[in-house]
Amino acid sequence: MNIGITVYPTYGGSGIVGSELGRDLADRGHNVHFISSFLPTRLTELNDRIHFHEVEMMTYPLFEHQPYDLALATKMATVARAEKLDLLHVHYAIPHSISAILARESIKQKMYVPVITTLHGTDITLVGADRSYLPITRYGLQQSDGVTAVSKFLKAATIETFDFDEIEVIPNFICQKHYKRLEHSPLKEELAPHGERLIVHVSNFRPVKRPADCVKILAKVREAGVNARLVMVGDGPERSACVYLAEKLGMNGNIVFVGKQANIADYMGVADLFLLPSELESFGLAALEAQACEAPVIATRIGGIPDVVSDGESGYLSDVGDIAKMTDDSLILLADEDQRRAFGHRGRELAVQRYSTEKIIPQYIAFYERIVSRTASATA
């Protein structure tokens, strides 16, 4: 197939999923055309089956805000016609599904390019549910030729907010060759030079991720006598609050903020423990990546996380903000290396069994085939 994919090309989970999906589809022989404002972060290499089409923006003084959605729609339509795309698959509803629908409609006299929208989380739970975007998000869902969601939780949330239920659940996935334990990594020595236990957090540091909870947990873990260090990977609006809190709690020397990293598997692969204390996660891709790297996960019991992290087997789950329990759970695993390893092994086993690319990518391909054949017969 000739597949157009649009993602936010930054460090968000939806961009990662869309990029890794495209790469895997190309490995399976499909032609993949990424259409976005710049090359997605995870897409370091292009080849003869992975192509990139940059959305060009004209700057004009009258525009207070540049209309990216329209430039994207124009590019989608142009690429669809030039490359004879079989479908446009957009990740994150706003504004991508609206741009894709506009593109489809603008060229439908010449060809019909079906639009598939994958919902990732905040596009429904935060942005889409906001009154300013709710009607247009519902329109995007109704007008898409196919809609998928990354978890049962997100499907239920979409039904509740938008009264729209034609949604296929296709969970996120993991490349088991890329995400794995790194036993002898120089990075481990660099981050934990005196054999400290390494706790890792990865996020985009938005309030919904509650990264400051990680700083509080580290302080309490150290108070309990465990020589641990915390590595904070990523960047975003909450980072300065975390730096301030670290200083206030006297944790400066024990926390390292490494900022955005191209290869987070390097960090997860050396983690003794992974923290994800989010207020909401429709899926919790970071938890899945950590589990694939054999890092037990301490997370919150919200959204799609209980499907990914098996409480008491591959990690422990707590209520949002329950620092005391998350600390106790961390201490259990950090104090008992055998149990920590057993949780790590079980996490990898579950990640591979339930979410390997081998299991999930064929579900996307089957969904594409279904939508393409349904729209072909409807438009014949």
Map tokens 């994800």 to a residue.
276
**Which listed range, 13-21, 95-103, 263-271, 364-372, lies at the site for ligand GMT (CB under 6 A)?**
13-21
List the one residue from 23, 33, 42, 120 that touches ligand GMT (CB under 6 A): 120
Nearest to 221 by CA among 247, 254, 244: 254
Which among 79, 95, 325, 154 is positioned nearest to 87, based on CA atoms? Answer: 79
Please identify, among the stretches 47-55, 116-124, 263-271, 340-348, the one whose residues bind ligand GMT according to the rule CB under 6 A: 116-124
Figure out which of the listed residues 9, 42, 89, 92 binds ligand GMT, where binding follows CB under 6 A.
92
Buried b (16+ CB within 10 A) or exposed e, 189-228: eebbeeebbbbbbbbbbbebbbbbbbbbbbbbbbeeebeb
The least CB distance from residue 123 to ligand GMT, in Å, is 6
In angstroms, what is the minimal distance from the CB of 8 to ligand GMT?
A: 6
Task: Report the site for ligand GMT in 262-301 (rule: CB under 6 A).
Answer: 280-285
- For position 14 contacting ligand GMT by CB under 6 A, the verdict is yes
CB 229 within 8 A of CB 255: yes
Cα dist. 365→28, 160, 325 in Å? 10, 28, 42
User: Of the listed pieces 9-17, 24-32, 100-108, 231-239, which binds ligand GMT according to CB under 6 A?
Assistant: 9-17
Strand segments, DSSP code E, in 108-170 are: 115-119, 146-149, 168-169
The answer to whether 343 and 315 are in contact (CB under 8 A) is yes
Q: Give the Å distances, CA to CA, from 343 to 110, 294, 298, 340, 346.
A: 55, 8, 11, 5, 5
Least spacing, CB of residue 148 vs ligand GMT, in Å? 11
Amino acid at 123: D
Shortest Cβ 66–ligand GMT spacing (Å): 21
Q: How many CB atoms lie within 10 A of CB 279?
A: 15
Q: Indicate the residue among 170 and 191 with the shorter CB distance to ligand GMT.
A: 170
Identified binder of ligand GMT from the candidate list 208, 224, 241, 331, rule CB under 6 A: 208
Closest approach, Cβ 209 to ligand GMT, in A, equals 7
* Between 222 and 304, CB nearer to ligand GMT: 304
Number of residues that bind ligand GMT (CB under 6 A): 19
Do residues 28 and 1 make contact, with C-beta atoms less than 8 angstroms apart?
A: no
Residues 133-172, one symbol each (x = binds ligand GMT by CB under 6 A, - = not), give -----------------x---------------------x
Q: Which residues bind ligand GMT (CB under 6 A)?
A: 12-15, 17, 92, 120-122, 150, 172, 204, 208, 280-285
